[in-house]
Structure 1
Amino acid sequence: MSTFSEPIFDVAQLAHVELLTPDFDGTLYFFKDLMGMQETERHDRSAYLRGYEEQYHHSLKVTEAQHAGLGHVAWRTRSPQALERRVAAIEAAGLGRGWIDGDVGHGRAFSFETPEGHPMELLWDVDYVTVPSGQETPLHNRPQKRPPNGVPVRRIDHLNVMAANTGVCRDFMVDVLGFRERERVVGDDGGPVIASWLSVTNLSHDIAIVPEPTEMRGRFHHVCFHYISVQHLFDLAELAKEAGISIEHGPGRHGIGGATFLYMLEPGGNRVEVMGDPGYMIFDPAWRTVVWEASKIADGVVWSGSPVPDSFWVYGTPPAQNRQATPNEAAA
């Protein structure tokens, strides 16, 4: 029997993601009219959105900016005490940026960054949604009626960031924040970590870290939202195609995580994934990290469906010009 360290359960879930966009109206059209997300509030040049089954004030913040990219990621802790414990650990790691008073929809939060500069926050106090009059539902475990527009998503699921040193970022998420690594890609010789999928919930991953092929740091790969039926992916793909939205890849099914997927580029330039089912769930408290060799990554990324386009390996936001070769180019 193998031994393992006592797990840290202080971080509870992904609370929200902020996306930056140079096309504020276009990005809102994508999330509201096509994906059926609800706008809870608007403040300055930021809009706060949520899926129709989400209880919090928002899971997505959209902010007008010069370039597309990640504004920040917010994680909710399990208690005020858990927040203080993780803040102390982050400060000891030298990656804290300090406390902020809060934002629309939540109380004070501690700002920090990953070793590669991805901006993040930890928080405890959140506002719960107040459903507008006429949107109440007799289904007591859902905060509102199902929206009649677009193909409405239920909730946020995960995000994916890019890193030149995936192993260092992985170690920070595990050792400092308490994430558990669920799957990993390494070199065929057992070399350094190439990509990592981690979670604090029963999901296969709440965050993934994939290679950064440029000299830039802190870039964003995608955010994912959850459906429950594969048919929803085809329905949304039809709406997106007719609206002139770029469909990058899918529908298909991942090997890693096992979920069905569709990847699109919203009008502001950020990559958005929607999944038609959650893939596998993890209930084993002694889960052993699944390890893939780099030569098997094609099956890991796509188990069924078309091959991965080169853009998937190199495109992130903010966009970059100088990059390394894609796996397909390197093999040519």
Structure 2
Amino acid sequence: MNGQDEPILDIAHLGHVELLTPKPEESLRFFVDVMGMTESGRQGDSVLLRGWDDYERGSLLLTASSTSGLGHAAFRTRSAAALERRVAALRAAGHEVTRHEGNLGHGMSYRFRDPDNHLFEIYWDTEWYEAPPELRPSLKNQAQRFPARGVNVRRLDHFNCLAVDVRACREFFQSTLGFRCTERIELNDGSEAGMWLTATNKSYDFAFTREAHGIPGRFHHVTFALDSREAILQAADVFLENGVFIETGPHKHAVQQTFFLYVYEPGGNRVEVANAGARLVLAPDWKTITWTEEERKKGQAWGLRTIESFHTHSTPPLPDGKGDETVPGDDLSAEGIAS
């Protein structure tokens, strides 16, 4: 509760993630044809995409750029008043917050940066998706007809950023926005290697894990939810048939117990499909699970060792001179990254 008498419940859920790509046409084909997402709007160099059960107009903003990585991530608040409260809390804590108008798919937002320089926004007004006749579902409580195309992404689930100081980022999101920490990793030296935060009954809406090279603002992956473990196994076949490189999985994480499969989209960003929402945290007084260094060195839930590229591949690419190698002695943080 961070010393609060009552929890802060102003953030409703993760709304959307903006991915930057140096190969916009190839990335768009990947998300539409292979992932099975639907295009729902364009603005400038950006294309808005959605999973078939996302209630908002879009959950992925794909933006042409000279590099890859995270443009921004956005959270919807529970009300207009909740939005103003969180803006006030951010400013009271000394953080710069700016209004952002003209957003594709939602109304005015407020933007700010976390201690690691990732860009975030919060908003209230949004566009509910109205399916055109050819995409209208038979069941009125479903946002869109099941696409029956590629992987058939259901919805955006979570994302994972890298951070130089994981603890500072966790404390920032807990104190200013009211996120709860469901699980974390603490090394023997007392430093924090990973944290998983939620604003909902999902076990996590996003995660931060330690950046091995001391470079702030980097991005590890975005995750889209499928219906079941079987759907993830079928997704592996879809990726195989489409020539998409499978980095690791299908398998099960120890942290959060997510059943996972990781690939790279053409722009270089890592993409996960998972049944992440299958595990819920219903306890209002949930006690954070802390994993030790020894526990994480055991690997994933069924013994799979984390693949080496989890240490070395994130976006944007490392600057010249930094190399693309594993930092000696930093093998643990990679074990925690994959969630």
Question: 1:197-216 alignment to 2 at 5 Å?
Answer: 197-216=196-215
**Counterpart residue number, 2:62:** 62
**Counterpart residue number, 1:175:** 175
Higher alpha-carbon deviation: 273-282 or 320-329: 320-329
**CA displacement 1:48-107 (0-9 Å, x = unmatched):** 001001110100000000000000001000110110010011112232241011311111
TM-score, scaled to structure 2: 0.92
> Residues 258 and 279 of structure 1 are in contact (CA less than 8 Å); yes or no, is this contact kept in structure 2?
no
Do residues 217 (structure 1) and 220 (structure 2) align? no
Q: Distance in 2 between matches of 1:52 and 1:278?
A: 16
> Residues 115 and 169 of structure 2 are in contact (CA less than 8 Å); yes or no, is this contact kept in structure 1?
yes
Q: 1:12 deviation in Å?
A: 0.8
**Cα–Cα, structure 1 residues 102 and 5, in superposed 2: closer, same or farther, change >3 Å?**
farther
**Cα–Cα, structure 1 residues 326 and 159, in superposed 2: closer, same or farther, change >3 Å?**
farther
Higher alpha-carbon deviation: 143-152 or 218-227: 143-152
Question: 1:117-128 alignment to 2 at 5 Å?
Answer: 117-128=117-128
**Cα–Cα, structure 1 residues 151 and 99, in superposed 2: closer, same or farther, change >3 Å?**
same
Higher alpha-carbon deviation: 88-97 or 244-253: 88-97
**Counterpart residue number, 2:301:** 303
Q: 1:326 deviation in Å?
A: 6.2
State the one-letter code of the partner of 2:292.
Answer: E
Q: Distance in 1 between matches of 2:168 and 2:330?
A: 22
Q: Distance in 1 between matches of 2:332 and 2:158?
A: 29
SS in 2 for 1:134: helix
> Residues 182 and 288 of structure 1 are in contact (CA less than 8 Å); yes or no, is this contact kept in structure 2?
yes
**Cα–Cα, structure 1 residues 304 and 138, in superposed 2: closer, same or farther, change >3 Å?**
same
Q: Distance in 1 between matches of 2:135 and 2:60?
A: 20
Higher alpha-carbon deviation: 16-25 or 207-216: 207-216
**Counterpart residue number, 1:238:** 237
SS in 1 for 2:87: helix
SS in 2 for 1:162: strand
**Counterpart residue number, 2:336:** none
SS in 1 for 2:227: coil
Q: Distance in 2 between matches of 1:126 and 1:24?
A: 25
Higher alpha-carbon deviation: 153-162 or 229-238: 229-238
**CA displacement 1:194-241 (0-9 Å, x = unmatched):** 210110011111010100011321111111100121122222222212
Do residues 257 (structure 1) and 260 (structure 2) align? no
State the one-letter code of the partner of 2:314.
Answer: G
Q: Any stretches of 5+ residues in structure 2 without a counterpart?
A: 334-339
Q: Distance in 2 between matches of 1:136 and 1:36?
A: 16
> Residues 137 and 143 of structure 2 are in contact (CA less than 8 Å); yes or no, is this contact kept in structure 1?
yes
Q: Any stretches of 5+ residues in structure 1 without a counterpart?
A: none
Q: Distance in 2 between matches of 1:81 and 1:37?
A: 32
Question: 1:72-83 alignment to 2 at 5 Å?
Answer: 72-83=72-83
State the one-letter code of the partner of 2:310.
Answer: F
> Residues 310 and 326 of structure 1 are in contact (CA less than 8 Å); yes or no, is this contact kept in structure 2?
no
> Residues 224 and 273 of structure 1 are in contact (CA less than 8 Å); yes or no, is this contact kept in structure 2?
yes
Do residues 284 (structure 1) and 286 (structure 2) align? no
Q: 1:276 deviation in Å?
A: 3.1
**Counterpart residue number, 1:294:** 293
Q: 1:271 deviation in Å?
A: 0.6
* % identity of equivalent residues: 40
**Cα–Cα, structure 1 residues 229 and 329, in superposed 2: closer, same or farther, change >3 Å?**
closer
**Counterpart residue number, 1:89:** 89
> Residues 311 and 331 of structure 2 are in contact (CA less than 8 Å); yes or no, is this contact kept in structure 1?
no
TM-score, scaled to structure 1: 0.94
Q: 1:13 deviation in Å?
A: 0.4
SS in 2 for 1:257: helix
